[in-house]
Amino acid sequence: MAESFGNSFTLVEVTSDDGAVPTKQMWLAFAKPSQALTLVLAAVPEGWTADIVPAALNEKQQRLIDELNLRPGEIYKLAPE
């Protein structure tokens, strides 16, 4: 039986493993935290690390989520502010 992705969003920060100044990216996953890490790590280059960001979404981020219309198991790379 397939595992449910849940019904909430998880913020994930990924960090590159190369260069003197590591690259950081923020991703949004419509999945449980453990699944979100796996989904995002599958989308970034091998060797990058990922961590859950324990944060509540602000109004601007919530509007973006509504516009994206993500389905369970989908991810989206957030643009830097």
Task: Show me where the domains of the chain are located.
Answer: 10-78
Please answer whether residues 16 and 48 qualify as being in contact, where contact means their C-beta atoms are separated by less than 8 angstroms. Answer: yes
What confidence tens digit (pLDDT) does each residue in 34-45 have? 999 999 999 999
Question: Nearest-5° angle of CA 33, CA 43, CA 3?
Answer: 40
Residue 1 is predicted with a pLDDT of 40
Beta strand ranges found along the chain (DSSP E): 10-15, 24-29, 49-53, 75-78
Q: Is 59 left (phi over 0), alpha (psi -120 to 50) or beta?
A: alpha
Cα(65)–Cα(9) distance, rounded to whole angstroms?
Answer: 9
Q: For the whole model, what pTM was predicted?
A: 0.83
